[in-house]
Every structure is written in structure tokens, then in C-alpha cells.
Amino acid sequence: MTGSLETGAGSDLRRDILTTLLPGFAGTEAPEWLLRRFEDGLGGVCIFGWNVVSAEQLRRLNASLRRANPLAVIAIDEEGGDVTRLFYDRGAPYPGNALLGRIDDVDLTGRVATAVGEALVATGCTVTFAPDVDVNSNPDNPVIGVRSFGADPALVARHAAAWVRAIQSTGVAASAKHFPGHGDTATDSHLALPVVDVPLATLRERELVPFRAAIAAGARTIMTSHILLPHLDTDNPATLSPRILQGLLRGELGFEGVIVTDALDMTGASGVHGIPEAAVRALAAGCDLLCIGSDNTDEQLDEIVEAVEAAVAGGRLPPDRVREAAARVRALAATAPPVPVAATPPAGIEPRHDAADRAVIAGGFEVSDAARARLAVASGIGTVVRIDGGVNIAIGVAPWGPFAVDSVAAEPSWLAEASIVVVSEGKPLTEPARLSGPVLVIGKDLHRHPFARAAIEALRAVRDDVVTVDMGWPSNDRAFADVSTYGASRLVGEAVVEFIGAAVGAARATSATIGAPGVP
């Protein structure tokens, strides 16, 4: 048993099957069933926000997992922006991809990725499912949006390469996603099967450009997408398609690392077949590491292992394919940095930012002339209308934007002084003319939500002191976005607070000067 744990290798088919599985679990400590699975060769786990209380707790958790199996992959969705697990309780101290693309400084992108990698190393994580290298060509995309570096393939490619190189310099493996590209969708693959009905030539010119760059930069893993591309495979989503994974990713793009699935509990992957059969088909298609979901059980793993064993026994899945996948996973895990032995205080993994850093972030905002004019005369903010557009499953319920900011630099704080009105589906804005002004509307992807559009239109119909702040991906015409921040992380929220605070402060100073004796 000791020798098996040291190498993970062997002729045991069941152990090899377990090595390809990456479940999630409930709680902040490893349950006994999970530790037993690790001793039997389980490939790893995916860490979610609810598994994390503090940096030190996560370090202890990961240490316990890797004691049970030194070749365990500890994966996490830490994208350095809206999607965060390390900072799920308070929002991420990073700008996020879309804003990095707007600023277009690859050195800054590299510094952000390095900071993410150092935080992951400090807590014992070995793989991050990042960067998102999708080209967000569809502004109505409900699941990618600001997770993308942008809509220009060349821009996305250079930032994808910088992110991959920087984070992997820390020892953490990157995972460029979601192959072959989830940017041109208007459907969330968590909930349905999106279709990208474009020819291969378009994919080569647009979606595949950043993946080529990420592979050239040395990305250790690539994550698949649960999307249907009928010009490549009329029957199978990418995760389950040998033509896409073996023919395109392995063959044409020459990727030799670990192919990892997006979560198989998503409708786009298992809505038709169920998770065990989806696992069989994903392995047969060429996937090596199978993300199962977010809250899995011992019984679910049994069902998957038994389905794969049956597929091998029935001749549907060659045993060599399972062995090949398991060998790739073990090779990936074997290069991971060790879990630190010293305790890491929570503040130790969080980069610190000063006013100059936040000014750089605010410099990436897109601000209309009308917004600047209204803010120039706004000596305060009377009402903040908070638009709650529902939970993006990939992001979860992490605090966002100014509402994640505990303290603000501006004194007195315009945010603390303003009344907060929450508008959501089923809770429309009432009596917009009676709100104290000026009015600041803050939300994400405002144009995608009919109730948000209705609230903004009602405000604009009766008053001229309204400024809208879209912290998501705005529509092409910017009709509902006076200020576009291209991200809603806590750091971006801090930059918004200071940006509005500076405008309010300037307006107050101007008002005081005009009102002073002898000043016309």
C-alpha cells in the first residue's frame, strides 16, 4: 500500500478510474469517505467557496487531503475577478479579466496572475481553473461576460499567455477554458446545451486564437465546454466529442497536457445521459480529469466507477484510455508545490492596494460624456438603486462591487450617506420621481434584465440626475451603461467608490467656491 501511495501507479483498473475523478464535497473539513477515496487513489477535489473559511483552514484541509494521497490534485476556480473561491466571503482583491483587457497592460496581467498563484501556493491548492480565455463576442452572454479578457481574439490571446506564464511560474497549474470557446453563446451551459453554429474557419480565426496562445505559453491543462458545435460534431457537446478533443485539441493544436471537463453535473453535459454515462463518454472522447460537481457523495462515485468499469468490460472504453488519463493526472500532481507547513494568516494571501492602484483600475472604466457632466454637478449621491439580477451560477453569491467594500477612503462617504433601494425580478422600482437625488444605479449586465431596463427607463423619464453604473458586460450600444466598469470584484468596487467620491468631492468644492463671498 505504501508503494502504491507514493506513485499512484499500478495495474488496478479501479484505482486508475478513481484517479480520473475530481469531485466536490460539503463542509470545511474532509469527510471520512473522501479521505478513504484518496487512499484508494482518488485523483483530487475541486474546492468551492463554501469549503473555505480562512487561508489557514484551507491550508489544513489541503494538507489532510494530500497526506491521504500525495498525488492529489487540489483544484479551485480562482479566476482573479468576479469568480473567486479564496475570497468568496468578501469578494476578490483583483481586477478581473475584462478590466485587465481594457487596461491592456500584459505586465499588470502577469502581476495579478502571480498574486493569485502565490495565494494558492500558500493555501496548498495545485491547479486553478483559469484563465478564462473565451472571446466574449456576444454581449448577451449570461455566463462568460467579464470573465473574458475581451471581444478581440488577439487581445485575449496575449493576456491569456501572460496569465498562464505568470501563474505557472509560482508552481500552480493553469487551465485555459472553456475549449473550444464559450464566448459566442446566449445560453448558460449550467442550465441547457448552448449551440455555437459557426464553421471551423470562424473558430480558427476567433475562438481558437487564445487557446493556441495559452498552449504555446505552456498551459498544463485545458478545460472543455459543454457546448454543441454542429459544424464539428452534430451529436456531442465538446466535452463528449472525440472529433473536437482528439482531432482538434490534440491533433491540430498539439496539446499534450491534461484535458479536464467542466462540471459533469451541468445540464449541457449530463442532461441527457446522466453523470455516470457522461463520465464514460468524456473519458472515451479524450478527457483525462473529470470534474463531477460541487457537492458529491461516496455513493455517486461508486455509480461512476461502476459505469466506467462496465464500459471497459463491454468494450465501449479501452482500458488503455483510462490508464493514459490516469497517468496524465498523476504526472500533473507530481509537480505540485508542497503544502506549506507554517500557518498563513488571512491577510497574508491578500494583495494590498493603494490609491494609485485603484486609480489604474478606474482608468479602465468607460465613462460617457453625459455621466461626467452629471457627476460634475453632483455634490452628493441621494439614492443608490441596487439592481440584483439573480445569481450567476459560476460566480455564486460572493459580495460584489461597492456593496463588498467595508471601508472607503472618501470622507464623508457618499455611499454611507445615500439611501439604498434594491430592485430585482418581482420587486420593481416604485415612485422614481420621489427618490432623493442624484440617483446612482448600480448593477451587472443591466441590458440583459427586463426589470433593470424598466427601472432605468422609468428613472430617466422623470429626472435628469441619473447615472447608471454597469459592473458587468454592457450592450454594444451602451444604452443602459453610463459608466462601464467591466467587473464587479471588491477591488473594482473600491475603485468605483473612489471614482464617485472624487467626482462628488470636486462638485462640492466647486459649489463652495461659487457660493463664497465675492465669487460670481
Active site (catalytic) residues: 190, 262
The residue among 392, 493, 350 whose CA lies nearest residue 83 is: 392
The residue among 50, 134, 133, 42 whose CA lies nearest residue 84 is: 50
- In 331-403, beta strands by DSSP E: 366-367, 383-388
**Cα 457 from chain centroid (whole Å):** 31
The residue among 213, 291, 221 whose CA lies nearest residue 257 is: 221
Compute the half-sphere exposure of residue 29: CA atoms within 13 Å on the CB side of its CA: 2
Say how far apart CA 32 and CA 195 lie, in whole Å.
41
Positive/negative CA dihedral, 17, 18, 21, 26:
positive
Task: Annotate 143-183 with three-state secondary structure.
Answer: CCHHHCCECCHHHHHHHHHHHHHHHHCCCCECEEEEECCCC
Q: Cell match 452628493: residue?
A: 380
Task: Annotate 4-34 with three-state secondary structure.
Answer: HHHHCCCCCHHHHHHHCEECCCCCCCCCHHH
User: Alpha helix locations (H) across 41-96?
Assistant: 55-68
Three-state SS at 224 = strand
Say how far apart CA 435 and CA 232 lie, in whole Å.
54
User: What secondary structure letter does DSSP report for 347?
Assistant: G
- My answer on whether omega of the bond before 178 falls inside 30° of 0, hence cis, is yes
- In 282-409, beta strands by DSSP E: 290-291, 366-367, 383-388
> Which residues lie closer than 8 Å to 156 by C-beta, 6 or more apart?
101, 133, 134, 135, 148, 149, 150, 209, 210
The residue among 434, 463, 437, 431 whose CA lies nearest residue 384 is: 437
The one-letter amino acid at 331: A
**Cα 25 from chain centroid (whole Å):** 19
Burial grade of 395 (CB within 10 A; 0-12, 13-18, 19 or more): buried
